[in-house]
């Protein structure tokens, strides 16, 4: 608190409030500042809507053999070429055999993800997806995944924040929408459910 005595101010600390008239103005100002303004803002926030997610589509992505590059003792790049896949939902089409999934491990249980790939919809539009996120799993869960087991999505954290770009008029909404990706490994594919944040 400003009123608390400061050793450097000595006996002058009692006069701090008088030398700072803005403190009194802020306390009395109800236009979004000071104590009354904060209380009013908190009340307004209680009426704000909670985030709402709506399923948009799912991409089931095929990947090729992993290529690794050791960049430092605790910095390993794992590149997975993207070889194809399918898209179903509000978008329907295929994942093109272009692009790749760059996964960086820097020690511990966390892998940083960055994937870039293209999908072609049934109506002929080509859409670019840039997908960044994290894969966090215990050593036990990773061992199960490496063995080919379809581990339930609830047992590890595999989340992404995709950015989608296209100039196709019928899919223009994708380029101005925030999405959340819920990913999992299933039947040898990377499966990502894309949810629109309303």
pLDDT of 44: 62
Q: How far apart, in whole angstroms, are the C-alpha atoms of residue 82 and residue 97? A: 6
Separation CA 178–CA 129 (nearest Å): 12
Gap between the Cα atoms of 182 and 58, Å rounded: 9
Mean pLDDT in residue range 94-116: 93
Where does 53-197 sit in CATH, by number? Answer: 2.40.160.20
Average pLDDT over residues 119-143: 96
pTM: 0.74
Domain positions in the chain are 10-45, 53-197
Instruction: Please give the pLDDT value at position 74.
Output: 79
- Contacts of residue 196, defined as CB under 8 A and 6 or more positions apart, other chains included, come to 53, 54, 55, 56, 177, 178, 179
Q: Is 73 strand, coil or helix? A: coil
Give Cα 194 distance to the centre of its chain: 12
Lowest mean pLDDT among 19-33, 36-50, 92-106, 111-125: 19-33
Residue located via tokens 């040898």 = 188
Q: What is the pLDDT of residues 67-78, one digit of tens each?
A: 999 888 778 999
């Amino acid at each position: 608190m400003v009123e608390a005595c400061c050793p450097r101010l000595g006996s002058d600390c009692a006069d701090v409030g008088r030398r700072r008239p803005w403190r009194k103005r802020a306390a009395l100002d109800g236009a979004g500042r000071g104590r009354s303004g904060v209380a009013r803002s908190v009340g307004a926030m209680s009426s704000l809507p909670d985030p709402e997610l709506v399923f948009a589509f799912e991409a089931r992505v095929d990947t090729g053999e992993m290529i690794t590059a050791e960049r430092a003792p605790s910095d390993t790049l794992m590149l997975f070429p993207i070889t194809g896949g399918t898209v179903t939902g509000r978008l329907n089409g295929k994942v093109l055999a272009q692009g790749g999934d760059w996964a960086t491990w820097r020690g511990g249980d966390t892998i940083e993800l960055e994937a870039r790939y293209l999908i072609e919809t049934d109506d002929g539009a080509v859409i670019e997806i840039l997908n960044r996120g994290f894969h966090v799993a215990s050593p036990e869960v990773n061992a199960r995944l490496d063995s080919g087991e379809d581990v339930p999505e609830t047992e590890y954290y595999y989340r992404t924040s995709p950015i989608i770009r296209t100039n196709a008029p019928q899919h223009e909404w994708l380029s101005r929408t925030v999405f959340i990706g819920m990913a999992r490994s299933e039947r040898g594919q990377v499966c990502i459910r894309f949810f629109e944040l309303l």
